[in-house]
Amino acid sequence: MTTHDALPSAATPSATTPPPTWTRYVALGDSFTEGLWDVPSDGALCRGWADLLAGHLAARQDAAGAPPLAYANLAVRGRLLRPILREQVPAALSLEPDLVSLVGGGNDMLRPAADPDRLARDLEAAVARFRAAGADVILATGVDTAESPLVRRTRSRVAVLNAHVWSIARRHGAVVVDLWGMRSLRDWRMWSDDRIHLTTEGHRRVAQAALVALGLSPDDPRWDEPLAPVPAPPRSQQLREDAEWVREHVVPWMTRRLQGRSSGDTRVAKRPELAPALDLPLVDAPTAE
């Protein structure tokens, strides 16, 4: 359990209030929380923002002489929201967490028939279960895709789901990582070649945003400052890169969709059991300019 009654959403830390502490953090979700395409840790496993958040929390609690933090990550790439809730929520509850991050629905939003109202009802039921079990809950909005030529078609659906996420958080005392509002994520240098998943620097900044959402001070006060501008590439280069993106990423994704397959069909959670979070690798300084 935390050392406070309710978590503030994106609150300013108070010098007179002791920071919250947790003993069991469990992350649920899809590829975003699994950590694609952050640097590998432990062989071929990705790290990602949730691992970074767990590491930062563990290091702070250790420095303060607080109880150690154990961490599990149940996220699996390609999962839609309902499978996340059906498979990962019971597994997470069995670990008796006092902190949970539950971020999903991004894969649903890529489907034209996605219903953000239904997704929100399902999400709220899961949040209520975690809150009833005594866990603090971290949610997140979707990213603003206004500048993405293809994915921006999902923008109106994502905006509706985002509004639900904020309302769910208010009703249940959860906190929200405001990915939609992060200025730095509107820079394509924060995104991998597939234009869907974050780079190492993007994951690092989201971890900082999660600290802020929890009412804690970020390690990097410039965590959401935009990168230094660079000249736009020539139009011919942009067209070549767009064609390569379609060939290397869009076509395989569409092929899997038509075949009823997912990139995570044969994968399992990378960290299904609680283990000490203090051993997780961290990134303490910006890695992109």
Q: Work out the end-to-end distance of the chain between its first and last CA atoms, rounded to an integer number of angstroms.
A: 39
Residue 277 is predicted with a pLDDT of: 95
Which strands sit side by side in the sheet containing 99-103, from one edge to the other? 175-177, 136-140, 99-103, 24-29, 70-73, 271-276
Helix (H, G, I), strand (E, B), or coil: what is residue 37? coil
Q: How far is CA 270 from CA 35, 46, 67, 73, 221, in A?
A: 10, 8, 24, 7, 31
CB distance 88 to 75 below 8 Å: yes
Report the C-alpha gap between 123 and 190 in whole angstroms: 27
Dihedral (CA of 221, 174, 61, 85) sign: negative
Residue 227 is predicted with a pLDDT of: 77
Residue 182 is predicted with a pLDDT of: 95
pLDDT one-digit tens code per residue, 212-261: 999 999 999 999 998 777 777 777 766 676 666 556 656 565 666 666 66
How much of the chain is helix, strand and coil, in % rounded to 5? 45, 10, 45
pLDDT one-digit tens code per residue, 159-190: 999 999 999 999 999 999 999 999 999 888 88
Report the C-alpha gap between 127 and 132 in whole angstroms: 9
Residue 23 is predicted with a pLDDT of: 98
Please identify every stretch of the chain with a pLDDT value under 70, giving residue numbers as ranges: 1-16, 40-44, 149-150, 195, 237-239, 241-266, 281-289
Residue 145 is predicted with a pLDDT of: 83
Residue 2 is predicted with a pLDDT of: 46
CATH class, domain 24-227+267-279, is: alpha beta
Nearest residue to 207 via CA among 226, 220, 225: 220
Residue 192 is predicted with a pLDDT of: 76
Residue 15 is predicted with a pLDDT of: 54
Residue 147, exposed/middle/buried by CB under 10 A (0-12, 13-18, 19+)? exposed
**Model confidence, pTM:** 0.85
